Amino acid sequence: MQIHRMYAYNPRLAYLAEEDRYLTRKIAPTMTFNVIGTGVNGQEHIRNTLYEGHATIKGIYDPHPNSQKAAKDSFAAYVTDRELVIYQTLEEACNDPEVDGLIIATPNYTHIEVIRTAAASGKHILMEKPMATTIADAWEITQIAAKHPAVFQIGLQYRYKSIYTEAIHEALERKSIGEIKAITITEQRIPFIDKVHQWNKFSEYSGDTLVEKCCHYFDLFNLFAASRPVKVYASGSQDVNFTEFTYDGKASDILDNAMVIVEYANGIRANFMLCMFSPMFYEELVLCGDQGRLKVSESQDFLTEQGVASSMQIHCGESMPARISTPKYPSHIEALGHSGATFFEHRNFVDNIMGRPTNTATVADGFWSVVIGAAAQRSIRTGEPVYIKTLLSENGITAEDL
152-155 and 124-128 as β-strands: parallel, antiparallel, unpaired?
A: parallel
User: Could you give phi then psi for residue 249, rounded to 5 degrees?
Assistant: 80, 5
Q: Cα-Cα-Cα-Cα dihedral of 369, 123, 335, 361, to 10°?
A: 30
Evaluate whether 113 touches 133 at the Cβ level (below 8 Å).
no
Q: Residue 263: what pLDDT?
A: 98
Q: Is the pLDDT of residue 117 over 60?
A: yes
31-36 and 55-61 as β-strands: parallel, antiparallel, unpaired?
A: parallel
Q: Residue 113: what pLDDT?
A: 98
CA distance 72 to 76: 6
The mean pLDDT value for 258-276 works out to 98
Q: Residue 138: what pLDDT?
A: 98
Spacing of C-alpha 44 from chain mean position: 12
Q: Residue 339: what pLDDT?
A: 94
pLDDT tens digit sequence for 2-23: 666 777 777 888 888 888 888 8
What's the full length of the chain, in residues?
Answer: 402
What is the sign, positive or negative, of the torsion defined by CA atoms of 219, 225, 228, 233? negative
- Is 313 in a helix, a strand, or coil? strand
Q: Residue 10: what pLDDT?
A: 79
CA distance 306 to 286: 23
CA distance 302 to 210: 26
Q: What percent of the chain has pLDDT over 90?
A: 87
pLDDT tens digit sequence for 293-332: 999 999 998 887 777 789 999 999 888 889 999 999 999 9
What single-letter amino acid sits at 138? A
Q: Residue 20: what pLDDT?
A: 86
Q: Residue 258: what pLDDT?
A: 98
Q: Is the pLDDT of residue 369 over 80?
A: yes
- Whole-model pTM: value is 0.95
Beta bridge mates, 187? 274, 283
Q: Is the peptide bond before 130 cis (omega within 30 degrees of 0)?
A: yes
CA distance 326 to 323: 10
- Output Rg (C-alpha) for the chain, integer angstroms: 21
Q: Residue 401: what pLDDT?
A: 83
What single-letter amino acid sits at 186? T
pLDDT tens digit sequence for 334-346: 999 999 999 999 9
CA distance 190 to 241: 9
pLDDT tens digit sequence for 166-182: 999 999 999 999 999 99
Name every residue whose Cβ is closer than 8 Å to that of residue 197 and which is 6 or more positions away in sequence. Answer: 247
Evaluate whether 268 touches 221 at the Cβ level (below 8 Å).
no
Write the DSSP string, 35-82.
EE--SHHHHHHHHHHHHH-SEEEEEEE-S-HHHHHHHHHHHHTT--SS
The per-residue pLDDT of the chain, averaged, comes to 95
Spacing of C-alpha 279 from chain mean position: 22
Q: Residue 17: what pLDDT?
A: 86
Which domains, ranges and CATH numbers included, belong to the chain?
Answer: 5-158 (3.40.50.720), 159-329+363-401 (3.30.360.10)
Q: Is the pLDDT of residue 118 over 70?
A: yes
